[in-house]
């Protein structure tokens, strides 16, 4: 079962805390032991390039490379065995948090999640939720607010 399918609750192995789920999306070690403070510290220290690879498995590496992290930057970090900058780490985090919220909202229905995340949305100025989330933390907040309104039953 994929991580996305586990949001549906059928596998019983889904982490219950948001930091643990986001940690799993980012491929962090021992994500189930993460709390809000621990995840914040990991992002502030700089995520490893492997986190970009882990997120790329969910949204596609072409989206991660260029849109979130310049290919040359990721290559340098890998070559030097260095963490990504705080800015690059925060971009990965913001997109992961949107994917996590969509996973919960769509109960692990990967097809519905993909449609939502990749299609332009009128309430996001015609941009797709993934594009909006990667643009800035304010963009990710706009997508999160959209998902919250949908979960609350507000007509979109």
- Residues 28-45: pLDDT tens digits? 988 778 899 999 999 999
pTM of the model: 0.87
9 pLDDT above the threshold of 60: no
Residue 14: pLDDT band by 50, 70, 90 thresholds? low
Radius of gyration from C-alpha coordinates of the chain: 15
The residue count for the chain: 156
Mean confidence (pLDDT) of the chain = 88
Distance from C-alpha of 59 to C-alpha of 96, rounded to nearest angstrom: 10
Distance from C-alpha of 41 to C-alpha of 153, rounded to nearest angstrom: 34
Residue 67: pLDDT band by 50, 70, 90 thresholds? confident
Per-residue pLDDT, 153:
85
Two tokens, residue 139: 């963009």
Whether 117 and 105 have beta carbons less than 8 Å apart is answered as: no
Cα-based angle 2, 20, 78 (whole degrees, multiple of 5)? 75
6 pLDDT above the threshold of 70: no
Distance from C-alpha of 68 to C-alpha of 89, rounded to nearest angstrom: 9
Residue 133: pLDDT band by 50, 70, 90 thresholds? very high
146 pLDDT above the threshold of 80: yes
Burial readout 103-121 (b: 16 or more C-beta within 10 A, e: otherwise)? bbbbebbbeebbebbeeeb
Whether 62 and 55 have beta carbons less than 8 Å apart is answered as: no
């Amino acid at each position: 079962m994929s991580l996305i399918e586990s949001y549906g609750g059928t596998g019983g192995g889904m982490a219950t805390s948001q930091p643990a789920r986001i940690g799993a999306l980012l491929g962090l070690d021992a994500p189930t032991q993460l709390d809000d403070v621990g995840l914040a510290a990991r992002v502030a220290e700089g995520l490893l390039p492997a986190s970009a690879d882990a997120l790329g498995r969910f949204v596609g590496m072409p989206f991660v490379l260029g849109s979130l992290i310049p290919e040359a930057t990721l290559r340098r970090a890998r070559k030097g065995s260095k963490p990504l900058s705080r800015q690059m780490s925060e971009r990965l985090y913001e997109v992961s948090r949107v994917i996590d919220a969509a996973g919960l909202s769509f109960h692990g229905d990967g097809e519905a999640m993909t449609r939502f995340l990749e299609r332009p949305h009128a309430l996001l100025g015609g941009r797709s939720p993934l594009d909006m989330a990667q643009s800035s933390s304010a963009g990710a907040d706009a997508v999160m607010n959209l998902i919250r309104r949908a979960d609350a039953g507000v007509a979109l």
